Structure 1
Amino acid sequence: MEHLLRDMQTSKTDHDSLTKLTALVDALRPSKADDHVTAVNNARALCYLLEQHPEYRAALRCEFFSLLDNTRQVNLYTETGILLNESFMTAVKRRIGAKLLPPTINEAHFSDLLGVIFHKRSDYLWLEAIPHEVWYEIGHALHMEEVAPNELPPHIRLQQLEAIQVLSCRISAIGLEPEVIRNHPDVERFESPFVRLNAEVLNYIEKYRHDLTTRTKPEEDHSHLLVLLEQCEVIMGKVWKYASKNGASVSLTYHLLRLKQHIDRMKLLFELVDPSAPQGEALIRLFLSLVKAENRKNSVGDVFRENTELLALQITEHASHTGEHYTSESRREWLDMFRSAAGAGIVVGFMALIKILVAKAHLPLLLEAMAFSLNYAIGFMLIHLMHCTIATKQPAMTAARIAAALPAPGSKNLEGYSNLVELIVKVVRTQFIAILGNVLLAMPVALGIAWLWWDRLGEHVVGPEKATHLMHDLLPISGMGIPHAAIAGVCLFLAGLISGYYDNKALYNKIPERIAALPILRKTIGDYRSQKVGEYIEHNLGALAGNFYFGFMLGCIGTIGILLGLPIDIRHITFSAANFSYALAANDFYLPLWSVIWGLTGIALIGATNLITSFVLALWVALRSRKRRLAELRPIIGLLWARFCLRPIDFIIAPKVIPEKTND
């Protein structure tokens, strides 16, 4: 490092500032990005050298100013770390294209040179690990007070002012986007701060440039501009709030995210151009954010994560509201859930029969997949219309409610976690009784159908070979019961997301109101019934869509596995229970004890895999949409165990009377 600083002092070769600064960063960079100790030690070593050798710090300042004076920084301030004015899919395509065929380096733009200096994609990790006080030490070691006024290029300040002007124009344009105005109509009725901001910024920059030209100290006050930015943020908050109630879209999310990024960057630049304010903290934040953005500029995952955050939150919020119906508070609600699940078990007994008959028809693969899918989809939708419950649909709904019930980040309030534990207890016992209702009815219904079939037609629903195959499918490992159950769990998770997506879509696009206003519908059934149809769609579109897509996923996966030559299929606990009954009937209602034990064990493991897979995935998405982590659930484990030891029966049976909360 000392050799590089000495070289900066002695070498006067033009146009090699980039090479020297890159070499210095290479010397500072630890061999591993997670080696934070080495990163801090290297930074402190640089501080020591700069403090001990005035000629070194003078040379470093000279090289840095030379690089800034000969490049444009506007793109660095207005584009690096800020989403461009492009659609979501265009952003994804552009980043993928940049990964496959990197763009050329434009040496006239400092944003490109920043990527050359910090060329390792993990550079931002060790830079962020350096404490702010160490960065302050580096800034102090440079002794900027030693710089003569004529040595500091005015070009740097002018570029920052130009960047503020560009950001102001973009903020005004985004704030007046039709989709933003649609979610906050008051922007049209009153004088918009987005419009006034641009006019005030132009006036501020004109005065500031005049002071720079006349070599006088700028004394312009930008506090009124910060007030306008705060007003813009208030409108943005109202749009977020409106979207949380009335649905969101990827496009609206994209606009709001870009607006927030532009406002934050503009505030940061105001701190930098204010000569009376300390600039150390602003410089550190800007520097770290720019390096991170440059390192991750081609990350496709960042685009997905940033743009779908609000949409994912809305989807899981709708699922959370639905999840309220999947928890039983009292014994009566608990028994109601059993009756609801029992009704679904009856329907599944017939659905399993239809699937077996379709398989016996030996249709062409695509027609068979379509028949399987329609059987599942129509059956699940019928179950919903009958107000019955498929037990395995619960985890995707209840996971979002559990995530919403988490205490605030960093909270050590045990009461919040205790409430969450009680919610989990309710979810567990409701899930238990729902599975019991599904299985206890699906099995006898299937047995009854099989007995009637044999009694009336003189043959079993399935032959001995098919019965053996059905029993083999229940085996956890050799029969691929657990892996296939995990695939079904993924489908359950996706069905939950689809339900939330369509509930969000119905609200955002005002589908219920548009259906109720259809002239042909109003003319046919009248205004009152049209309104009722619209209300039904509002409350049930997501559930119907989720069941429909879930049915098609279950029906097509096996065929896809055959076409691809992969061992891909699904196992669902309720259908597995019905298939076990049909296999039992095919063997004249007699099976060896070990076959019965293995079959029932396989059904239990399939059900557990269905539930765990869908629940973990749904909980992960729900937590990510709220910027929470799975690690925050760790305190619950001990509390759950203590709760189980206190009253284990509550995990299975709901109390007759809801216990009242006390203030003790």
Structure 2
Amino acid sequence: MEAILRTMVSAPTDRAFDLFRELVDTMRPRDHADAVAANNAVQALAYLLEQSGDFRAALRRHMLHLLSTRKQVQLYTDTGILSNETFYTALTRRIGYRVLPPVFNRYSLKDVFGALFHKKTDYVWLEAISREAWLALGRAMHFHDETDLVSINKTRVQVLEAIQVLSCRLSAIGLEPELVRNNPDIERFESPFVRQNVETLAYIEHYRRTMIDEALPDEDVRPILVLLDQCEEWLTKAKKSAAKNGISVGLTYHLVRIYQHIERMRMLLLLIDPVPNPDKAELVIDGLVALVRAENRKYRIRDVFAENTSLLALQVTEHASHTGEHYIAETRSEWLGMFRSAAGAGVIVGFMALLKLLTAKAHIPLLLEAILFGLNYALGFMLIHMLHFTIATKQPAMTAAKIAATIHAGSKRNRQRLDLDELAGLIVKVVRTQFIAIVGNVALAMPVALLIAMTWNWYFGVPPVDAAKADHLLHDLSPIASLAVFHAAIAGCCLFLAGLISGYYDNKAIYNRIPDRIAALPWLNWLVGESRARRLAKYIENNLGALAGNFYFGMMLGMIGTVGFLLGLPIDIRHITFSSAYLSFAAVAYNFQLDWHIVAMSVLGIALIGMTNLAVSFGLALWVALRSRKLTFQATKPLLGELVRRFLKNPAQFFVPPRSPKPVVEAPVPSLPNHQETVREWVRLRRQRAG
């Protein structure tokens, strides 16, 4: 490090880029997560600069030359800020740049900056450097001793140009039709986005005139900062409005861009403001780290999804969490009601399993068979929903979002400690509701399938499936001889996707105002009447997501096996309710002459299939719900000990809810005699007798 600084003292400024790159390479720790080494490097540089005035002057001279001879605007306006393009264009552009990076421009500060911090993990060790070390380095630079005003003014001019670009972009984004639609008040009142642009342009013009006179402006940036605050307040209102009216990827994209432009404008305005500001050093540090982070991650595809789908994911899981409230039984009566609802679904599944077996027995063309399989599942699941019945495995994707919403609400109330009692109680309710729903599905699916198979055998003289098909069904239930558990995990992924699809269509119905548009259809009002059209629109508003989720879930279950066969991959699905029904069909095919080992292995397979269905769908749904609220699984760790303690203390509560305490009926308090009324009545009677 000292050798590089000595070279800077005598080296011409044309070598500034190469020398700075060597300096950064020297300071970079071998392990990017080594915070101690990163802090030691910065402290060593600060010590060398404090000890030698020549080192300080040389470093400032090369730095100012590097800044003043490069085009800076693009670094401030583009790095870390989404461009004016659609989400899909941004995604394809990043993919293209990963395959074929753009040409390096030595005279662009953006490209030079990226070349200085060329390691993809440079932002990690820069973020690990303490504020004290950064501030010590800033003091050691002695910028107040710098006399090269020409280079400094060139940098100021480019920062002003960057602020102007950001301000114009911000005003344009704030008037996007999709944003105005989400907040109509912006059309009735003066837009803060337009007003900040007017104030910013006036400030920049005044700043440039004073620089010509070799002075600094006497105006400050506070009016512009106030207008930026108003833009940020509008951003908060837009997010709240989106919670009611739905959101899209395009709207999320605009909101993210607004926030990024506001933050970058605020930083540049405070940096260039001549008024002394104690937070200016902090801004320089935060700005440097933010730019390095953005430059290191500029081609990361995951960041595009994370930035642009965060609000949409939150809305999808929020709708799912509201639906999840209906899948959580609070009392014993609701718990028994869940059993009845699941039992009704078990009856329908018995008939759906028969249709699946008969379709396979027909040996129709493969693609048509897959479509019929999917329609059988899809229409059956939609019928179950319309009859207000419950498929047990549909619950985890909904209840996981509800749990994540509770964690998020708890963490907002108390950043230090979540309400573990409340959260553990919610999970216990979820577990026992899930348990009784599975019992209801299986308890009815198996006997109904058994009754159907026996009736079929009595009427037609042969069972619905022959011995060869029965062997295949029993083989598919074995967790040892087949890939039953793996196929159950695939079904769990389908359940998870169905939950997301449900939330997406609920959001879509609100955002596109589909119910209102249906209720306003002229031909529908003429055909069924205005009141029925409104009822139909209301039903679609409340059930579009659930119907769409059930339809797509059914199509996925029906077609995945065929897709796996066509690709030559061992891909299929196993669902606990259908698997239990298939065991009944196989038992009738063998006239109940099954070895107990086979029955035990099949029952074990059904249990493992159910556990895998639930675990995979719940885990994935909880992960997405936590990510959408910017939480991690770390937030759920304290729950484990609390749940274990509850299970050891009272395991029955995980399966059966406690009885509701009987209301205490208080005995009526006998009314005391009213002595005044008694006296009045006595006086009245005496007067009557005297008269």
Q: TM-score of the superposition, structure 2-length normalised?
A: 0.94
Structure 2 partner of 1:219: 218
Alignment of 1:476-555 (within 5 A): 476-555=479-558
Instruction: Return the index of the structure with the highest Cα Rg.
Output: 2
Structure 2 partner of 1:11: 11
Structure 2 partner of 1:573: 576
Amino acid at match of 1:4: I
Compute the displacement of 1:25 (Å): 0.4
Please give the alpha-carbon distance, in whole angstroms, between the structure 1 residues aligned to 2:302 and 2:418: 36
Compute the displacement of 1:150 (Å): 3.0
Amino acid at match of 1:137: A
**Which one of 433, 449, 452 corresponds to residue 449 of structure 1?**
452
Q: Is the 8 A contact 2:343 2:440 kept in 1?
A: yes
Structure 2 partner of 1:402: 403
Structure 2 partner of 1:383: 384
Q: For this pair of structures, how many residues does the alignment match? A: 659
Q: Is the 8 A contact 2:48 2:55 kept in 1?
A: yes
Amino acid at match of 2:8: M
Q: Is the 8 A contact 1:332 1:656 kept in 2?
A: no
Compute the displacement of 1:415 (Å): 6.8
Structure 2 partner of 1:417: 420
Partner of 2:106, secondary structure, is coil
Partner of 1:16, secondary structure, is helix
Amino acid at match of 2:258: L
Q: Is the 8 A contact 1:383 1:389 kept in 2?
A: yes
Partner of 1:153, secondary structure, is helix
Amino acid at match of 2:23: L
Compute the displacement of 1:51 (Å): 1.3
Please give the alpha-carbon distance, in whole angstroms, between the structure 2 residues aligned to 1:414 and 1:231: 33
Partner of 2:411, secondary structure, is coil
Please give the alpha-carbon distance, in whole angstroms, between the structure 1 residues aligned to 2:449 and 2:149: 91
Structure 2 partner of 1:463: 466
The answer for unaligned runs of 5 or more in structure 2 is 664-691
Alignment of 1:92-171 (within 5 A): 92-148=91-147, 150=149, 152-171=151-170
Offset from partner CA, 1:152-174 (integer Å, 9 cap, x none): 52011111111111111111111
Q: Does 2:631 match 1:631?
A: no
Q: Does 2:284 match 1:283?
A: yes
Structure 2 partner of 1:595: 598
Q: Is the 8 A contact 1:370 1:556 kept in 2?
A: yes
Partner of 1:15, secondary structure, is helix
Offset from partner CA, 1:72-103 (integer Å, 9 cap, x none): 11111111000000000100000000010000
Of residues 381-390 and 50-59 in structure 1, the stretch that sits farther from structure 2 once superposed is 50-59
Structure 2 partner of 1:47: 46
Compute the displacement of 1:144 (Å): 1.1
Compute the displacement of 1:264 (Å): 0.6
Please give the alpha-carbon distance, in whole angstroms, between the structure 2 residues aligned to 1:438 and 1:659: 31
Please give the alpha-carbon distance, in whole angstroms, between the structure 1 residues aligned to 2:203 and 2:68: 24
Please give the alpha-carbon distance, in whole angstroms, between the structure 2 residues aligned to 1:539 and 1:180: 26
Amino acid at match of 2:334: E
Compute the displacement of 1:636 (Å): 0.6
Of residues 407-416 and 610-619 in structure 1, the stretch that sits farther from structure 2 once superposed is 407-416
Please give the alpha-carbon distance, in whole angstroms, between the structure 1 residues aligned to 2:317 and 2:296: 31
Offset from partner CA, 1:512-560 (integer Å, 9 cap, x none): 0001111110000111000000000000000000000001101111011
Offset from partner CA, 1:328-373 (integer Å, 9 cap, x none): 0111100110000000000000111111111111111101100100
Partner of 1:103, secondary structure, is coil
Q: Is the 8 A contact 1:329 1:658 kept in 2?
A: no
Change (3 A) 1:314 1:415: closer
The answer for unaligned runs of 5 or more in structure 1 is none
Structure 2 partner of 1:370: 371
Change (3 A) 1:413 1:100: closer
Compute the displacement of 1:416 (Å): 1.7
Compute the displacement of 1:235 (Å): 1.2
Q: TM-score of the superposition, structure 1-length normalised?
A: 0.98
Please give the alpha-carbon distance, in whole angstroms, between the structure 2 residues aligned to 1:150 and 1:258: 34
Structure 2 partner of 1:309: 310
Please give the alpha-carbon distance, in whole angstroms, between the structure 2 residues aligned to 1:418 and 1:86: 47
Change (3 A) 1:410 1:503: closer
Please give the alpha-carbon distance, in whole angstroms, between the structure 2 residues aligned to 1:84 and 1:415: 39
Q: Does 2:177 match 1:174?
A: no
Compute the displacement of 1:658 (Å): 6.8
Offset from partner CA, 1:260-305 (integer Å, 9 cap, x none): 0000111111110112223211100110000110110001100001
Please give the alpha-carbon distance, in whole angstroms, between the structure 2 residues aligned to 1:504 and 1:270: 38
Change (3 A) 1:581 1:630: same
Compute the displacement of 1:151 (Å): 6.1
Amino acid at match of 1:655: P
Of residues 145-154 and 107-116 in structure 1, the stretch that sits farther from structure 2 once superposed is 145-154
Amino acid at match of 1:281: E
Q: Is the 8 A contact 2:68 2:151 kept in 1?
A: no
Compute the displacement of 1:646 (Å): 2.9
Please give the alpha-carbon distance, in whole angstroms, between the structure 2 residues aligned to 1:514 and 1:638: 51
Please give the alpha-carbon distance, in whole angstroms, between the structure 2 residues aligned to 1:540 and 1:151: 67
Percent of residue pairs identical:
57
Offset from partner CA, 1:395-450 (integer Å, 9 cap, x none): 00000000000121694676722111111011001000000000000000000011
Of residues 223-232 and 336-345 in structure 1, the stretch that sits farther from structure 2 once superposed is 223-232
Structure 2 partner of 1:332: 333
Alignment of 1:175-254 (within 5 A): 175-254=174-253
Structure 1 partner of 2:69: 70
Structure 1 partner of 2:674: none
Offset from partner CA, 1:30-73 (integer Å, 9 cap, x none): 11212222212112111121111211121111111101010111
